[in-house]
Amino acid sequence: MNDSPGRAVPGPSPSDGERPGAPDGQQGGGPQQGDTAPRPPAGGQKWSAEQPPPGEWQSPGAPQPPQPAPAPTAVPQQPAPRSWAASTGPTGPAAGQQAPYGGQYGYPGGPGPWGKPPAAKPGTIPLRPLDMGEILDGAVATMRGQWRSVLSISLVVATIVQVVDLVLKKYALADLPAPDPEAGPGALLDAMGASLMSSSASLLIQFIGGILAAALLTMVFSRAVLGRSSTVAEAWRDARPRLPHLVGLTLLLGLGAAVLVAVLLLPAVLARSIGLALLGALVAFPLLIWLGIKFSLASPALMLEKSSIPTALRRSSKLVRGSWWRIFGITALTALITGFISAVIIYPLLFLGAAVSGSGFSGFEDGTLLDDWTFLVILGIASVIAQTITLPMQSGVTVLLYVDQRIRREALDLELARAAGLENYGTDPTAPPTGG
When pLDDT is cut at 50, 70 and 90, the band that residue 21 belongs to is very low
Give DSSP secondary structure letters for 422-433: -TTTTT-TTS--
Average pLDDT over residues 159-169: 85
> Does pLDDT of 325 surpass 90?
yes
> Does pLDDT of 264 surpass 60?
yes
Average pLDDT over residues 315-335: 96
Task: Please check whether residue 370 lies inside any domain of the structure.
Answer: yes
Q: Which amino acid is at 291?
A: L
When pLDDT is cut at 50, 70 and 90, the band that residue 421 belongs to is confident
Average pLDDT over residues 101-119: 45
- Cα(18)–Cα(27) distance, integer angstroms: 4
Residue 91: per-residue pLDDT? 57
When pLDDT is cut at 50, 70 and 90, the band that residue 424 belongs to is confident
Task: Please check whether residue 45 lies inside any domain of the structure.
Answer: no
Residue 191: per-residue pLDDT? 57
Domain tally, the chain: 1
Q: Which amino acid is at 71?
A: A
Task: Please check whether residue 204 lies inside any domain of the structure.
Answer: yes
Residue 58: per-residue pLDDT? 42
> Does pLDDT of 57 surpass 60?
no
- Cα(319)–Cα(90) distance, integer angstroms: 10
Task: Please check whether residue 59 lies inside any domain of the structure.
Answer: no
**Whole-model pTM?**
0.70
Domain residues for 167?
132-235+321-420
Residue 193: per-residue pLDDT? 57
Residue 199: per-residue pLDDT? 66
Average pLDDT over residues 152-159: 94
Give DSSP secondary structure letters for 5-30: TT---SS--TTTSBPTTSPTT-BSSS
Dihedral angle, C-alpha 343, 348, 353, 358, nearest 10 °: 120
Q: Sign of the CA dihedral 250, 252, 253, 255? A: positive
- Cα(289)–Cα(312) distance, integer angstroms: 19
> Does pLDDT of 198 surpass 70?
no
- pLDDT, tens digit, for every residue of 332-382? 999 999 999 999 999 999 889 888 887 777 777 776 777 778 888 898 999
Average pLDDT over residues 269-281: 88
- Residue 155 near residue 388, CB atoms below 8 Å: yes
What separation in angstroms does the CA of 264 have from each of 257, 291, 353? 11, 15, 41
Q: Which amino acid is at 8?
A: A
When pLDDT is cut at 50, 70 and 90, the band that residue 108 belongs to is very low
> Does pLDDT of 35 surpass 60?
no
- Cα(250)–Cα(383) distance, integer angstroms: 23
**Secondary structure of residue 143 in the 3-state scheme:** helix
Rounded to 10°, the helix 232-239/147-168 angle is 70
Task: Please check whether residue 390 lies inside any domain of the structure.
Answer: yes
Maximum alpha-carbon separation in the chain: 127
Q: Which residues contact 332 (CB under 8 A, 6 or more apart)?
A: none
Task: Please check whether residue 247 lies inside any domain of the structure.
Answer: no
Please tell me which of 25-39, 163-177, 275-289, 410-424 the model is most confident about, judged by mean pLDDT. Answer: 275-289
When pLDDT is cut at 50, 70 and 90, the band that residue 95 belongs to is very low
When pLDDT is cut at 50, 70 and 90, the band that residue 206 belongs to is confident
Residues 5-24 as b or e (16 or more Cβ within 10 Å = b): eeeeeeeeebeeeebeeeee
For residue 18, report the phi and psi dihedrals to the nearest 5 degrees.
-75, 140
- Residue 151 near residue 393, CB atoms below 8 Å: no
When pLDDT is cut at 50, 70 and 90, the band that residue 12 belongs to is very low
Q: Which of 105-119, 160-174, 240-254, 411-425 has the lowest mean pLDDT?
A: 105-119
What separation in angstroms does the CA of 344 have from each of 136, 165, 234, 255, 375? 19, 21, 33, 33, 17
Burial class (CB in 10 A: 0-12, 13-18, 19+), 100: middle
Residue 231: per-residue pLDDT? 93
Average pLDDT over residues 44-69: 47
Q: What is the mean pLDDT of the chain?
A: 76
**Secondary structure of residue 48 in the 3-state scheme:** coil
Residue 390: per-residue pLDDT? 95
Q: Which amino acid is at 419?
A: A
Task: Please check whether residue 428 lies inside any domain of the structure.
Answer: no
Please tell me which of 200-204, 226-230, 288-292 the model is most confident about, judged by mean pLDDT. Answer: 288-292
Task: Please check whether residue 144 lies inside any domain of the structure.
Answer: yes
